[in-house]
Amino acid sequence: MFFYPGGNIHDPNQLGYSFTSNFLSDLGGYESHSGEVNFLSSTFFALSLSVFALAGIAFLSIPLIFDDDKINYYFSLFGAILFFIGAIFFAAVGFTPFDLYFEEHVFFAKNSFRLMIPASFFILVALIRSKISKYYLYIISLFLVSTILYVIYLNVGGNPIENKDDLIPNVIAQKLIVFVSMICIFLVTFAFSEKLKQKQLI
User: Phi and psi for 111 in degrees, rounded to 5?
Assistant: -75, -20
Annotated domain spans of the chain: 49-201
Instruction: Report pTM.
Output: 0.89
Q: Give the pLDDT means over successive 10-residue stretches in the chain (202 positions).
A: 90 94 94 93 93 91 90 96 96 94 95 97 94 90 97 92 93 95 91 80 62
Region of 159 please: left (phi>0), alpha (psi -120 to 50) or beta.
beta
Burial class (CB in 10 A: 0-12, 13-18, 19+), 29: buried
Query: Could you report the per-residue pLDDT of 7-57, keeping only the tens digit for each?
Result: 999 999 999 999 999 999 999 999 999 999 999 999 999 999 999 899 999
Per-residue confidence (pLDDT) for residue 99, from 0 to 100: 92
Rg (CA), the chain: 19
- Return d(Cα 78, Cα 145) in angstroms, integer: 19
Any residues with CB less than 8 A from the CB of 182 and at least 6 apart, and which? none
Beta pairing partners, 15: 6
Per-residue confidence (pLDDT) for residue 192, from 0 to 100: 86
Per-residue confidence (pLDDT) for residue 2, from 0 to 100: 83
- Return d(Cα 41, Cα 81) in angstroms, integer: 31
Torsion over CA: 80, 81, 84, 85 (sign): negative
Q: How many C-beta atoms surround the C-beta of residue 145 within 10 A?
A: 13
Per-residue confidence (pLDDT) for residue 201, from 0 to 100: 66
User: 42-64: buried (b, 16+ CB within 10 Å) or exposed (e) per residue?
Assistant: bebbbeebeebbebbeebeebbe
Any residues with CB less than 8 A from the CB of 44 and at least 6 apart, and which? 3, 27
Per-residue confidence (pLDDT) for residue 200, from 0 to 100: 72
Region of 131 please: left (phi>0), alpha (psi -120 to 50) or beta.
left
